[in-house]
Amino acid sequence: MIINHNISALRSVNRLKNQEGKLALNMEKLSSGLRINTAADDSAGLAISEKMRAQIRGLEQAQRNVQDGLALLDTAEGALSQILNPPLQRIRELVIQAENDTLTKSDRMEIQKEIDELKSSINDISQNTHFNGKNLIDGSFNGEKSVLREAEPAKVFGSVDLSHGFTIVQGDNDRLDIHIDDVSTFVQVEEGSYTADELLDEINRKFMDKNIKVTASYQKQQLILNHMIPGKDFKITNLSGNLVESIFLSVKPGQDFQAFTKVSVTSKSNFNNANPAYSTIIEGVNDTLTFNVDNENYEITLTAGTYGNRQQIKDEINVRISESGAQVRFSSYVIPGGTLAINQLEHIAGGEKQISNIGGNAASFLFNYKWSDEWLRGNSNLSDGIIINEGQNDILELKIDDSEYVFQLKAGTYSSQELIEELNGHFSRENIKLKASIEQGYSDERLAVDGYDIKVLEIKRTSASTGDVNAIQFAGSAFTDLFMNINQGTEIPEQSFSILGNSDLSSGLLIEEGVNDTFGFYVDENEKTILMESGNYTSEELLAELNAKLLEVNSGVTALYENGQLLLNHDTPGSNHKINRLAGNAFTSLFLSQEKGADEVLSEPRNIQLQIGANEGQSFSLTLMDTQTAALGLKDLSVLEANARSGALNIIDHAIGLISSERSLIGAYHNRLNYTVNNLETYSENLTGAESRIRDADLAKEMMAQTKNSILSQAAQAMLAQSNQIPQGVLQLLR
């Protein structure tokens, strides 16, 4: 005998728990009436039952849908009956009445008034027959499709402005090759000079002569080729020929180095004045001119004397410049009708050269317009002020009445007024009887007649004049900027031949084998052809592929992008190099902007869809006619004139026939939906019975099982009580 473990009691407990679990399941099924309450009861049965339940609920909703559809049809038929009788029937009576020649014109006018009112009532019924806010018989559900987008033809766009006309040269730019719907053809334009319209007419005439289904037109004076047949299956591809580059692509010829303009400094003087004082060179007074050319300083000394005219002084100056070796020349001219000489010191070589630091005692004599010694005036445009840089243009030298001064202007950016204040400050501090001001001037002598266009510096005496034209002289590094008009030289660097397309490749390009993978061209009359690998390229990958292939064939050409458009650039600059005769099936894709043809896009048919089943696709489509007078052919019905009355009866009979036919169709729809309702009801009934056999509990069977499990549970409880008494027998051994 043992007392630490009561095995009999443990067995009794387990049996009791087992019976209580079974008893709980019996009670759950009896209380719910269902055999399957959880997935553990019957997992397969539960899955089948839930599918059946979904179908049953769907069938019940479908029955309600069909009932709604029947109500809609009843509404529509009711409206049709109201259109048929009395309006249409009454209109027919009135038409027959109007046919009788016993009536006068005024009688028929009264009949027509009633007919018009009856037609209005038909339109009112058509437009005001609704079901749940939807118009039924105004054409909203007549089964027709509407056009959402018209079909579009294929197009190819050029990028050359042809507004100024074009010249065709035989063998140079007269041929256009083209593929239309995969058929290769070409046109050859006659040689000659064309206006924009004449060129367009000539190209279209050539297309027409060869029955090519393409028309040319302009958009912003740039050529467009349009396929005559819209649709995605009609294409314009593989353009080539020597005319394509001229009228479709932007071509920049190569350029040799050129100096475009020459640097010069210009001002006005009194050379053209009859006063000998303005043409006399005096030794030590106005015979020395200094200047800097390309960072090298030069000084010339003029021969003293009175010169008979402006030409003699000019020749003297140029002789002395030539002796100095400076690469500049002096010129002087007078605008016809002008009074002053325009004097200019110009660099012999063009381009970005330099002339600066005009000085010497002859500077003011040669380059300032003056009135005796009362005032002198410059020609530098100071409208926007001036920039003074230390060590470059900050020194102004002044000689007045044999006294000499040197001023250093503060570095900085000056407005014209600030410059005047700076100069007058120096004059005041040195007690110099001069005053600076800004006056109206003109950049060209011809503007003296029409008006002023610039602001110039004027220096005026504030003391009595001596009458000596050389009494006031300016020089120094600031003289050129303050008193002279500086024209900077420019140059055109050498430039490579290039061809720019107009196709936007920023989003990449799809290259397809045999479709657009071959590109051919000529470089300096040498033929080159590349074959690209097929694939969907990004813009960067496409450029890398092109340049790799161009390098393989040693083309001497580089591909670049300009605003997302492909640019072919000759590697060698100069006017003797070119790229031409572009061809291959990839040419159009790479270089020309295109719009592919598009088919017509239609809306879905305007039908009423009724969901009459529990599953996808189990729907019923119906249409309802447009019953407005325009659709019935009654809009213009009239009995006023004999020729109109002759066909009026046929028109009204046709309208009555349409309404009667539509009512017959609605009756057919109605019967069809009634059959559908009956079928849905039967289907739902049978499916519910099947689902019940799977899901519902057999209560008699469950009661029997519950009684059995209840008795066994009570027996287990009794045996557990007995098992707990067994260890007490050990106490008898201890007595």
Distance CA 27, CA 709 (A): 10
* Residue with tokens 């110099």, as numbered in its chain: 432
Helix (H, G, I), strand (E, B) or coil at 65: helix
Cross-strand partners of 248: none
Distances (CA, A) of 377 to 404, 440, 455, 566: 19, 10, 11, 55
CB atoms within 10 A of CB 396: 23
Tens-digit pLDDT profile for residues 29-38: 888 988 999 8
Distance CA 364, CA 375 (A): 11
Distance CA 576, CA 265 (A): 36
pTM greater than the 0.75 cutoff: no
571 Cβ contact list (under 8 Å, min separation 6): 496, 556, 557, 558
Distances (CA, A) of 646 to 259, 397, 633, 640, 655: 90, 111, 15, 11, 16
Answer yes or no: is pLDDT of 587 > 80.
Answer: yes
Tens-digit pLDDT profile for residues 510-539: 999 988 899 999 999 899 999 999 999 999
Tens-digit pLDDT profile for residues 219-228: 888 889 998 8
Distances (CA, A) of 408 to 362, 423, 428, 648: 21, 10, 14, 107
Residues shown for the chain:
735
Mean residue pLDDT of the chain comes to 84
pLDDT recorded at residue 447? 39
Q: How many CA atoms lie within 13 A of 300 on its CB side?
A: 23
Answer yes or no: is pLDDT of 13 > 90.
Answer: no
pLDDT recorded at residue 171? 83
Percent of the residues in the chain that have a pLDDT greater than 70, as a whole number: 87
pLDDT recorded at residue 448? 42
Q: Which residue has the higher pLDDT, 376 or 206?
A: 206
Q: Which residue has the higher pLDDT, 268 or 259?
A: 268
Confidence of residue 451 (pLDDT cuts 50, 70, 90): very low
Tens-digit pLDDT profile for residues 685-734: 999 999 999 998 888 888 998 899 889 889 888 888 888 877 777 777 77
- Provide the pairing of β-strand 579-583 with 518-523: antiparallel
Q: Which of 380, 368, 360 is nearest to 469 (CA)?
A: 368
Highest mean pLDDT among 263-272, 323-332, 552-561: 552-561
Radius of gyration of the chain from its Cα atoms, rounded to whole angstroms: 53
Supply 106's token pair. 């005024």
Distance CA 293, CA 483 (A): 18
Helix (H, G, I), strand (E, B) or coil at 394: coil
Kind plus residue range of the DSSP H or E element containing 51: helix 43-83
Highest mean pLDDT among 76-90, 135-149, 376-390, 641-655: 76-90
Tens-digit pLDDT profile for residues 473-510: 888 888 777 777 777 655 556 678 888 888 899 999 99
Distances (CA, A) of 19 to 13, 14, 704, 717: 10, 9, 14, 10
Residue 672 burial by Cβ neighbours in a 10 Å radius (0-12, 13-18, 19+): middle
- Provide the pairing of β-strand 509-511 with 535-537: antiparallel
CB atoms within 10 A of CB 88: 24
Answer yes or no: is pLDDT of 622 > 60.
Answer: yes
Tens-digit pLDDT profile for residues 454-471: 788 888 888 777 767 677
CB atoms within 10 A of CB 196: 16
pLDDT recorded at residue 604? 62
Contact assessment for residue 98 and residue 645, using Cβ atoms and an 8 Å cutoff: yes
Distance CA 697, CA 705 (A): 12
Strands (E), 151-213: 155-157, 166-168, 175-180, 183-188, 192-194
Distance CA 54, CA 267 (A): 101
Distance CA 346, CA 248 (A): 43
Supply 96's token pair. 């027959």
Supply 245's token pair. 């580059």
Tens-digit pLDDT profile for residues 236-248: 887 888 787 777 7
Angle between helices 89-98 and 105-128 (to 10 degrees): 160
Confidence of residue 260 (pLDDT cuts 50, 70, 90): very low
Distance CA 73, CA 131 (A): 9
Tens-digit pLDDT profile for residues 127-185: 999 999 999 999 888 766 555 567 788 888 888 888 888 888 888 888 888 888 888 88
Tens-digit pLDDT profile for residues 112-128: 999 999 999 999 999 99
Q: Which of 237, 47, 22, 132 is nearest to 691 (CA)?
A: 47
Percent of the residues in the chain that have a pLDDT greater than 90, as a whole number: 35
